[in-house]
Structure 1
Amino acid sequence: MKPLKFLKLGRKHRKILFLVVLFFFLALNVLSYFGAYALTHYSSPGRFGIGIPKSTNSKLPSDIGLEYVTQRIPINQTEWLETWFIPTQLPVSNGTVLLFPGNAGSKDKQLLAPAKEFHRLGYAAMLIDFRGLGGSSGNTTTLGVREAKDVALSLSHAQRSNFQRPFILYGVSMGSAAILKAVADEKINPDVVILELPFARLLDAVRSRLSASWIPTFPFAEMVVFWGSIQHGINGFTHNPVTYAKQVRCPALLLHGKLDKWTNLAEIDQIFQNLHGFKELSIFPNADHSLLVTVDKERWQRSVEQFLKEKK
């Protein structure tokens, strides 16, 4: 009788263990699902909602002395990209720079400062809000996957509008990732790319952010990327700018902050090594994951101006 009693007790323990494991599995998926949702959705300003508050453009180019025209690039009948076009101050433009922001960024918060510097150098500038950001339609992001199509659409618009070449694509963080993906997958051919603060792999970028919040990276990072992929119909596990970089043949300038806690220098070096053709790397020793022109303006100016002269 004792062995039977022990067997029954063992089965009960196994059932409890199974229920505990099932509970934690379900809890992990629920937390990961909402974590992915919060990471890839913007909530309307002033309204309660899950996600990052959608950025708004509260400052205009005219506020810093630049003339501009607001334009909309239609995506389809219900979606659009909002842009600001700032013409050059010279009789003949040195070219046109298309500027793209990072995650949760917008034209005024991340693009006005570098646009002013490009304007000083004699370039026209087109500042673009990705879908979901600023004045553009929508309230979601795919952290550079779908945004690659926005890059391609913006370049096509600049070409159709007969803006002055060369066409230079400048991106910040997610904007850089979108540019690299557009080159690799959308087969665009810009004349120059300037990549500021890119991440190497989406999964690693999620891991670094979880780690900074003292959240175990495994298996949470994998689950967040999985549910984000399901929600948006993409494959986040293959969203790797370090791989896209292999398709870049045009001159490329890579700008990065040495203290960036999201992307380490080894990853930046991998991206740089994968770039083909003329390329330069500039590391800002006192900068983290912040808009570099606002951290070390002199170094940013020197790096960009020297690169644009040498690539000719």
Structure 2
Amino acid sequence: MQLLKSFRLGRKSKKRFFQVVMVVFLFLNGLSYLGAYALTHFSSPGHVGLGLPRPNSSRLPSDIGLEYVTQRISINQTEWLETWFIPAQHHVSTGTVLLFPGNGGSKAKQLLAPTKVFHRLGYDTLLIDFRGVGASSGNTTTLGIREAKDVALALSYAQHSNLQRPFVLYGVSMGSAAILKAIAHEKINPDAVILELPFARLLDAVRSRLRAIRVPTFPMAEMLVFWGSIQHRFNGFTHNPVTYAKQVRCPALLLHGKLDKWTTVAEINQIFQNLNGSKELTIFPNTGHSLLVTVDKEHWQRSVDQFLKGV
């Protein structure tokens, strides 16, 4: 009798255990689904919704003394990229730099500071808002995956507009990841690339951000990448700029902050080693994941100027 009682209690305990496991599993999946949605969607000002505030800014190139032309690159009948074209000083161009922002950034928010330096160095510049940010169409980001197509489209636009070569692609963080993916998967051939603060692997980038807010990385990082992949129909587990770098054969300048808590110097060295063309690496010793031209403008300009002279 006692044995039967113990058996029934054991079955109830197991059932309760599996119920608890199922509830935790469903809770974590629901939380991850909402988290992935919030991290890859933008909400417009004045609208209540799940998502990050849409990256935008009221700043214009004219605010820093640069003349510009606003242009749209058509993707299809309902989608477009907005750009600013800023001619070189005295309209005498050494080449054209195409600039791409990082996640949560826009051409107005992140690209005016480096543009001012490229302008001083004699380059035409084309500043691009990815889909979902600034004045481009859409309200989502795919952390460099779909944005690779935007990079390829912008370069094709520059080529067909007969802008001055060489064509140099400059990206910040996610913008760098998009450039690397565009070279590897969209088969673009820029004349040179400047990659600032790229991440090596999407999964590791998610893990580092979870660690920063003291959330256990396993299994949350994997679940966030999984649900983000489902929502946007891509495989985030293979979104690895360190692998894309193997396809880069043009001159490349890699810029990184030594104190970057999102991407380690070891990961940056892996990307650098995988680049197959002529390459340079500049480490800024006293900063982290910040727009480097705003941290040490002279060091940034020297590195960029020296690199571009060899392109």
- 2:165 is aligned with 1:127: no
SS at match of 1:56: coil
Report the AA paired with residue 227 of structure 1. Answer: W
Report the AA paired with residue 167 of structure 1. Answer: F
Query: Match of 1:272?
Result: 272
Report the AA paired with residue 65 of structure 1. Answer: G
- 2:48 is aligned with 1:48: yes
SS at match of 1:139: coil
1:160-179 equivalences under 5 Å are 160-179=160-179
Query: Match of 2:159?
Result: 159
Work out the CA distance in 2 between the residues paired with 1:296 and 1:38.
33
| Alpha carbons 1:57, 1:135 under 8 Å: kept | no
91-100 or 233-242, which deviates more = 91-100
The alpha carbon displacement at 1:81 in A equals 0.2
Work out the CA distance in 2 between the residues paired with 1:76 and 1:57.
25
Aligned length: 311
- 2:27 is aligned with 1:27: yes
The alpha carbon displacement at 1:91 in A equals 4.7
Work out the CA distance in 1 between the residues paired with 2:254 and 2:38.
30
The alpha carbon displacement at 1:39 in A equals 0.9
Query: Match of 1:36?
Result: 36
Query: Match of 2:99?
Result: 99
Work out the CA distance in 1 between the residues paired with 2:174 and 2:151.
11
Work out the CA distance in 1 between the residues paired with 2:46 and 2:204.
32
Query: Match of 1:210?
Result: 210
Work out the CA distance in 2 between the residues paired with 1:130 and 1:138.
9
SS at match of 1:78: coil
SS at match of 1:133: coil
1:200-279 equivalences under 5 Å are 200-279=200-279
Work out the CA distance in 1 between the residues paired with 2:92 and 2:2.
96
Query: Match of 2:12?
Result: 12
Work out the CA distance in 1 between the residues paired with 2:284 and 2:20.
49
Report the AA paired with residue 250 of structure 2. Answer: C
The alpha carbon displacement at 1:92 in A equals 3.0
Which stretches in structure 1 are left out of the alignment for 5+ residues? none
Query: Match of 1:74?
Result: 74
Report the AA paired with residue 88 of structure 1. Answer: A
Distance 1:91 1:23, change over 3 A: closer
Report the AA paired with residue 37 of structure 1. Answer: Y
Query: Match of 1:300?
Result: 300
Work out the CA distance in 2 between the residues paired with 1:103 and 1:91.
31
Work out the CA distance in 1 between the residues paired with 2:107 and 2:159.
21
- Identical aligned pairs, as a percentage? 78
Work out the CA distance in 2 between the residues paired with 1:252 and 1:186.
18
The alpha carbon displacement at 1:3 in A equals 0.6
Report the AA paired with residue 47 of structure 2. Answer: R
Query: Match of 2:115?
Result: 115
298-307 or 49-58, which deviates more = 49-58
**TM-score normalised by structure 1 residue count:** 0.99
* Runs of 4 or more consecutive aligned structure 1 residues displaced over 2 Å after TM superposition: none
Work out the CA distance in 2 between the residues paired with 1:191 and 1:287.
29
Work out the CA distance in 2 between the residues paired with 1:162 and 1:120.
21
Work out the CA distance in 1 between the residues paired with 2:61 and 2:191.
25
Which stretches in structure 2 are left out of the alignment for 5+ residues? none
**TM-score normalised by structure 2 residue count:** 0.99
41-50 or 110-119, which deviates more = 41-50
SS at match of 2:111: helix
The alpha carbon displacement at 1:46 in A equals 2.2
